[in-house]
């Protein structure tokens, strides 16, 4: 089977759930794969996804001890190897998700294949092929460069610079395999530097490509969800302070539509994103000498944010309405930090003022 992978004599077998990479002379590998981790020689590399299969699985991610999990994984994968007639020794990644659509970035000497699935936690696997024989020291350096480049891509796409993502809280089954054409006694420093540079470029771009096809970068609604705010929450908060008219489903629906409409305004979005970033910096105490955990009285820039949002949506009258929502803090607004409570109070106040314009 013809491939775009940099190693010319590599062969690939693929079905709905399993991808097998193999070559007659095998690979020298390093990584943290399910089977064949560490540094070693393998004939085949297997990537297997196991979610959403038609047939029951002999292996499940059950609540059992480590020894039982290890035994189940190996028994399950050995059955996969036998079914696919995979030549041993093997390095294998067992993915809890069945989405095996690799994003590839390919150059003469490096191919980066990335599979990503952003669920409740980000699951990401990388297969990196190097068209050179490498020594163990160089393999380690390339593995480190791959990890660093992955983190750089997550930063580029706004994944790790945010409340909802902790880079230490990834899926346990996330895996990286580096595969070279074989082993070498020593690799020249010039070649090592060239390969590391290629790895940095390729892995970073492949991860970004994969993320871009799986919900990243996120829109403002997703950023709001990250901090625990959804449009329904804002509608409920807005309706809590309705006075002078009867609360009706029609008013609630008007408010909902106005919120969505206001979230199409670049200036409103800018204030919300700025507020989210500022709240995160304050919460994580990233600014030396600044502590606003208790929302001190001398902090008023947050209210400027809120008034600016309200004014952008409905003008001066919305600023007065903002004060009502800021002081009462109905619903979700009461659960937010010192910056975001004002930002979203301003959003609700502005939208409420807008729908009651004559």
Distances (CA, A) of 145 to 5, 27, 158: 20, 19, 20
Structure tokens at 131: 């068209």
Positive or negative: CA dihedral 350, 353, 355, 358: negative
Residue 1's pLDDT is: 39
Residue 337's pLDDT is: 92
Ranges of residues in the chain whose predicted pLDDT is under 70:
1-3, 51-71, 96-100, 118-122, 161-173, 358
Residue 57's pLDDT is: 47
- Compute the mean pLDDT over every residue in the chain, rounded to the nearest whole number: 87
Structure tokens at 21: 């990479």
Contact 238, 255 (CB under 8 A): yes
Residue 119's pLDDT is: 58
Residue 59's pLDDT is: 44
DSSP H helical segments within 157-293, as ranges? 189-212, 220-226, 231-240, 249-262, 266-283
For β-strands 38-49 and 90-95, DSSP reports them as parallel
The structure's pTM equals 0.81
89 preceded by a cis bond (ω within 30 of 0): yes
The structure tokens 């996804």 sit at: 49
Residue 333's pLDDT is: 97
């Amino acid at each position: 089977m013809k491939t775009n992978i940099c190693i010319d004599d590599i062969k690939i077998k693929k079905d709905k759930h399993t991808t097998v990479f193999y070559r007659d002379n095998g690979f020298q590998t390093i990584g943290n794969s399910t089977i064949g981790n560490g540094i070693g020689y393998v004939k085949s590399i297997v990537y297997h996804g196991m979610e959403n299969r038609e047939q029951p699985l002999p292996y499940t991610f059950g609540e059992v001890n480590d020894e039982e999990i290890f035994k189940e994984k190996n028994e399950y994968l050995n059955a996969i190897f036998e079914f696919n007639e995979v030549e041993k020794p093997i390095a294998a990644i067992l993915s809890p998700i069945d989405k095996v659509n690799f994003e590839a970035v390919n150059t003469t000497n490096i191919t980066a294949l990335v599979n990503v699935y952003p669920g409740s936690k980000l699951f990401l696997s990388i297969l990196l092929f190097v068209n050179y024989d490498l020594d163990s020291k160089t393999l380690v350096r390339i593995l480190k460069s791959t990890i660093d480049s992955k983190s750089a891509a997550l930063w580029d796409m706004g994944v790790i610079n945010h409340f909802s993502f902790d880079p230490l809280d990834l899926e346990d089954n996330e895996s990286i395999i580096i595969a070279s054409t074989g082993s070498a006694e020593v690799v020249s420093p010039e070649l090592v530097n060239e390969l590391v540079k290629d790895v940095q470029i390729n892995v970073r771009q492949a991860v970004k490509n994969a993320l871009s096809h799986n919900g990243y970068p996120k829109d403002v609604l997703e950023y709001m969800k990250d901090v625990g705010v959804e449009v329904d929450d804002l509608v409920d908060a807005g309706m809590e302070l309705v006075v002078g008219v009867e609360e009706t489903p029609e008013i609630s629906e008007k408010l909902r539509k106005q919120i969505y409409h206001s979230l199409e305004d670049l200036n409103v979005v800018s204030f919300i994103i700025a507020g989210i970033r500022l709240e995160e910096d304050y919460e994580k105490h990233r600014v030396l000498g600044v502590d606003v955990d208790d929302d001190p009285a001398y902090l008023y820039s947050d209210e400027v944010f809120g008034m600016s949002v309200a004014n952008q949506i409905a003008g001066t009258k919305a600023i007065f309405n903002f004060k009502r929502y800021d002081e009462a803090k109905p619903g979700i607004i009461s659960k937010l930090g010192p910056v975001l409570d004002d930002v979203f109070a301003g959003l609700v106040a502005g939208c409420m003022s807008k729908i009651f314009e004559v």
